[in-house]
Chain A
């Protein structure tokens, strides 16, 4: 099935390029969302179902992807009766089938981290997890899910991970890049402990409604600034996670950056390495070059690729110093997606290409056979 999603004037076909090797493709960034808040009602305890209905809460969907922004959704991905990413049949027809996806790792956040009532937040996280498991993950064997937690209360977040972590359809725990505090903070460690206990990855996603501005210098005025600024938030979180020693304390917890971009990472590693040499006494648990820690623990979903052309992308990959960090992603149904033909770096050696398209994700998410 050939799907043309990109509209008039853009004759690009949204499908797996014919010249890609025949490896088990893992798409590490696919968004799903409830058709409306009513879809979660059946998964909420009566008290909170009632609270949502009586309060007239329409949606918890954040405005991180303004519905009419050109970046938010590819034309044709919006079903008749819901937002893009809310229809499993459409997802199969537009993504899983034409890309011949073996496994798609889905994300649904649904604004839980922005709820200030901690009890409601915990109930909503449970509802989102039960909803996605019942209506998506248990129905479509190509899907794997992400555990949503109310990080407002790390102890109860860990309880939630203990509750759903044993389900094999869940492969990671979601934390927002725009978190309440730097993610390395020991406050959050019960969450990481639980994730590692269940063999899950920690996924830091490009979003969050906890209240902090996207940049460290305050809230910007424009969506362009907001979107570009996410890279700054990711940099802050990588520095925090490494310096606070999360990869040392949780050596079996892969850290996946979702939609972070990656062209900024080599320069960040240079800066961290350079200054670690003189300041490392302060963080003696960082007992290797920070870049070595990052290369060993951090994985990145490859969309968006910010490099302007293949040659300069090649430079960045070279400076990244590892062909085991990037994982293929479409970011469906978001429209940051680059041309499918550019969704993988050109001229990767065959083994590196196989790792990029699936091998690294299989390892990171312990997906079993490759």
Chain B
């Protein structure tokens, strides 16, 4: 599993998302109440850019006419057909075992992990101190 720095934490405040490109894959990185989640930006249904869909809560009911609204901001709805996915797991609401989108582990690191191996051409270098924390997706 390779670690990829995709953002600084202040780039994705709570309730927001960032679509990033990792190894040729489009991935949506979400901040849900301070925790970060990463999902493949492809709906398993018809291939839409799932992570651009609406974020909202889960609507359930115990009886006709009664509504429960919970987990606000944790349900991602595909922009094409409205299928609902749990941002925290990638599982769809209606068929959680079989209809799911790939999710990736995320961590928040104080420093960027080791960068690319040095190539043959080395430029003149200067020391740079970084004072932010980084969101890292493990693909």
Q: How many residues of A contact B (CB 8 A)?
A: 16
Chain A binding surface, main DSSP class: helix
9-residue interface stretch from B3-11, B15-23, B63-71, B103-111: B63-71
Within B29-47, the residues touching A (CB, 8 Å) are none
CB-based nearest A residue for B45: A277
A270-300 Cβ-contact flags toward B at 8 Å (1 or 0): 0000001111110011010100000000000
How far, in angstroms, from A284 to B83 measured CA to CA in the complex?
13
Q: Assess whether B61 is in contact with A285, with CB atoms less than 8 Å apart.
A: yes
A280 and chain B: residue at smallest CB distance: B94
Tell whether A186 pairs with B63 under 8 Å between CB atoms, given A277-B81, A281-B84: no
Flag if A284 contacts B94 (CB, 8 Å): no
- Min CB distance A191 to B, Å, is 15
Q: Which residue of B lies closest to A249 (CB)?
A: B64
Contacts A277-B94, A280-B94, A289-B94 given; does A248 touch B83 at CB 8 Å: no
B113, CB-defined interface residue at 8 Å? no
- Are A244 and B83 in contact, with the CB atoms below 8 A? no
Contact: A278 with B60, CB < 8 Å? no
Q: Is the CB of A277 within 8 A of B67?
A: no
Kindly state whether residue A145 has any CB partner on chain B within 8 Å: no
A199 within 8 A of B: no
Q: How many A-B residue pairs have CB under 8 A?
A: 41
Q: Is A84's beta carbon under 8 Å from chain B?
A: no
Interface size on B, residues (CB 8 A): 17
- 8 A Cβ contacts from A280-324 to B: 280-281, 284-285, 287, 289
Nearest A residue (CB) for B78: A278
- 12 A–B contacts from the bound complex (CB under 8 Å): A186-B65, A246-B64, A248-B63, A249-B64, A277-B81, A277-B83, A278-B82, A278-B83, A284-B61, A285-B65, A287-B60, A287-B61
Where the two chains meet, the residues of B that have a C-beta atom closer than 8 Å to any C-beta of A are 59-68, 78, 81-84, 93-94
Given contacts A278-B78, A284-B67, A285-B63, 20 further A-B contacts (CB under 8 A): A186-B64, A186-B65, A244-B64, A245-B63, A246-B64, A248-B63, A248-B64, A249-B64, A277-B82, A277-B94, A278-B81, A278-B83, A281-B84, A284-B59, A284-B60, A284-B61, A285-B62, A285-B64, A287-B60, A289-B94
Which residues of A line the B interface, CB within 8 A? 186, 244-246, 248-249, 276-281, 284-285, 287, 289
